[in-house]
Amino acid sequence: MPSLLVLGGTAWLGRETSAQAVARGWEVTCLARGVSGVVAPGADLVVADRDASSAYRDVAGRDWDAVVEVSWQPRHVREAAEALEGRALHWTYISSVAAYAPTRTVVDEHAPLREPVLPDAVVDGSQYDAAKVRCELETLRTQPDALLVRAGVIVGPGDPTERFAYWPRRAALAGDDPMLVPAPPAHPLQLIDVRDLVAWNLDAIEAGVTGAVNAVGEQREGLELIELVREVAGAHGPLVRPSADWLLARGVRPWKGPDSLPLWVPDDGGPARTGFHSAARFRETGGIRRPFIETVRDVLAEERALGVGRPGLAGLSRQRELALIAEYERA
């Protein structure tokens, strides 16, 4: 029975990793504070604060077939890799395509990366991209044969950011009434279902895959995705499509968070941080992506169960959306 240590394991990606590994018959241990959720049934939890010097005391004294690291705090990543040096047959670091220098050309795993943050930086979300680069470097110092999973935008049931979930929820709520969407041009997206990402990662661990791999979905335009979401949700109302300048002037934010149009990145003609990454090595190493309509259906089912009219963590409230639509149509 393979032994897996997940550094994390109580939040979304880590918990999905644990759950799928348990389903394969692996012996799974999660090291976490235990405040982000509960571990998957069948996994063991080692409670630890990764800011403490003793964080890895209870896991560093044994050998592991595999370790999966999900943090983006450089110190946490470095200290874990050091504490477990020589103890893991395979090491995975979950990185991001955001580590690459922005581009408009489809790039593979040899493309230039961003400048990293300093080794001991304590980072927030504004430094996420550069922090991922530093975490890769810190991983490779003591785990030179690590698998660096440069993931695209991860979506699917349970996503705590609600970036993608906003769209099926909003389409279901709008129904035959208007729905606000950004007009082109916008940067394309490469969305990958968390379940497909994890299944490939576990296969890659078993196969001993090392080095960097772009784990990304098919390149799609935002309006194409919205139309698919509307089809699944049965929404037939009109689309209201203001320009980026109009939306930005009224405080509508791109990408994520409250009062945003999630996953929208206006195309100003410059390079992009997502949407232009080759999936060739992902496919060569066995990566399989389910039809995206399955992801949409599953996310919509979850949103309906939770209540499509509830306040969301990302996106516009329906009241705010309708006010913007009314203002735009008066112009």
Q: Could you give the residue range(s) of every CATH 3.40.50.720 domain in the chain?
A: 3-151
Q: Look up the CATH architecture of domain 3-151.
A: 3-Layer(aba) Sandwich (3.40)
pLDDT band at 35 (very low <50, low <70, confident <90, very high): confident
**Confidence at residue 1, expressed as pLDDT on a 0 to 100 scale:** 80
Of all residues in the chain, the percent with pLDDT exceeding 90 is 95
Query: Each residue of 82-137: pLDDT tens digit?
Result: 999 999 999 999 999 999 999 989 999 999 999 999 999 999 989 999 999 999 99
**Separation of alpha carbons 152 and 196, rounded Å:** 12
Of all residues in the chain, the percent with pLDDT exceeding 70 is 100
Beta-carbon contacts of residue 301 (< 8 Å; ≥ 6 apart): none
Asked if residue 196 has pLDDT above 90, the reply is yes
How many CA atoms are closer than 13 Å to the CA of 295, on its beta-carbon side?
22
Query: Each residue of 44-53: pLDDT tens digit?
Result: 999 999 999 9
Query: Each residue of 304-326: pLDDT tens digit?
Result: 999 999 999 999 999 999 999 99
Asked if residue 272 has pLDDT above 90, the reply is no
Query: Each residue of 273-284: pLDDT tens digit?
Result: 889 999 999 999
Q: What is the pTM of this model?
A: 0.97
**Confidence at residue 175, expressed as pLDDT on a 0 to 100 scale:** 97
**Confidence at residue 160, expressed as pLDDT on a 0 to 100 scale:** 95
**Confidence at residue 273, expressed as pLDDT on a 0 to 100 scale:** 85
Mean pLDDT of the chain: 96
Asked if residue 56 has pLDDT above 90, the reply is yes
Measured CA to CA in angstroms, residue 199 lies from 20, 67, 208, 222 at distances of 7, 15, 14, 26
Asked if residue 181 has pLDDT above 90, the reply is yes
Asked if residue 36 has pLDDT above 90, the reply is no
Measured CA to CA in angstroms, residue 1 lies from 24, 65, 93, 144, 194 at distances of 9, 9, 22, 25, 24
Q: Report which DSSP code applies to 41.
A: T
CB 263 within 8 A of CB 255: yes
Residue 138, SS3?
helix
Give the pair of three-digit tokens for residue 126: 């504004």
Asked if residue 69 has pLDDT above 90, the reply is yes
Q: Report which DSSP code applies to 84.
A: T
Q: What are phi and psi of 73, to 5 degrees?
A: -95, 115
Give the pair of three-digit tokens for residue 156: 């699917």
Residue with tokens 């996994």: 43
| Averaged pLDDT for residues 279-301 | 98
End-to-end, the C-alpha distance of the chain in Å comes to 65
| Averaged pLDDT for residues 16-35 | 96
Asked if residue 178 has pLDDT above 90, the reply is yes
For 82-120, letters b (16+ CB in 10 Å) and e give eebeebbebbbbbbbbbbbeeeeeebebebebbebbeee
